[in-house]
Amino acid sequence: PDHALIDGNRLPRDLACSAETVVKGDARCVSIAAASIVAKIARDAIMRDLAQQYPGYGWEKNAGYPTQCHKVALRELGVTPHHRRSFKPVYNILYQAEISSD
């Protein structure tokens, strides 16, 4: 692309083209709104695939969001390679495991 529109107020570094941020871009820009829908559909498909590989987390329903069932599954089943380490419940589980092993 020649130019990118970025939803939010943070411009990623090292983009291959010129870019501008658009705060609340999905409400103000049709291109960003459309890209947001495409990204959600793609992410939901990825989460359904991961749900088959890692049953028990409810990813086919919660898409990785921190529902109560997802939090319980994290405690009972543990963390997968696909969980974000910055997600607070995941971080807490990993950190507590590290403290317990000391």
Closest CA to 78 of 64, 65, 94: 94
**What is the per-residue pLDDT for 96?**
77
Residue 60: band (very low, low, confident or very high) from pLDDT cuts 50, 70, 90:
very high
What the block records as the tokens of 61 is 């329903």
- The residue extents of the domains of the chain are 1-53, 56-102
Q: Give the CA radius of gyration of the chain.
A: 18
Angle of the 88-101 helix axis to the 68-77 helix axis, nearest 10: 20
Closest CA to 77 of 87, 65, 89, 62: 89
Stretch 34-45: mean pLDDT:
97
